[in-house]
Amino acid sequence: MVIPAKDEADTIAATVRACRAIPRVNLVLVVDDGSEDDTQHVARAAGAVVVRHSVNRGKASAMETGGSVVAMRDIEGREPRLLLFIDADLGETATACGALVEPVASGRVDLAIAALPRQEGAGGHGFVTGLARSAIQKATGWAPTQPLSGQRCITREAFNAALPLSRGWGVETGMTIDVLTAGFTVQEIPVNLRHRATANDFAGQVHRAGQYRDVLYAVTTRRVRGVRVPREVITRAAVQQRVGEPYGVSYD
Q: Residue 189: beta bridge partners?
A: 114
Q: What is the pLDDT of residue 126?
A: 77
| Plot region of 77 (φ>0 → left; ψ -120 to 50 → alpha; else → beta) | left
Q: What's residue 222's pLDDT?
A: 96
- List of domains in the chain: 2-240 (3.90.550.10)
Dist. CA 57–CA 45, nearest whole Å: 24
How confident is the model at residue 198, as a pLDDT? 53
CA dist., res. 250 & res. 252, Å (int): 6
So what's the pLDDT on residue 116?
Answer: 84
- Give yes or no for a contact between 116 and 193, defined as CB atoms under 8 angstroms apart: yes
Q: Measure CA of the first residue to CA of the last residue in the chain; give whole Å.
A: 34
Q: Could you state, in chain order, the average pLDDT of each consecutive group of 10 residues for the chain (252 residues)?
A: 96 96 94 97 97 95 96 88 96 95 96 83 70 95 92 97 94 97 96 70 63 93 93 81 82 76
Instruction: Report pTM.
Output: 0.90
Question: Taking each helix axis from N to C terminus, what angle separates 127-140 and 202-225, rounded to the nearest 10 degrees?
Answer: 10
Contact 211, 116 (CB under 8 A): no
According to DSSP, the β-strands at 111-115 and 49-53 are unpaired
The per-residue pLDDT for 122 is: 53
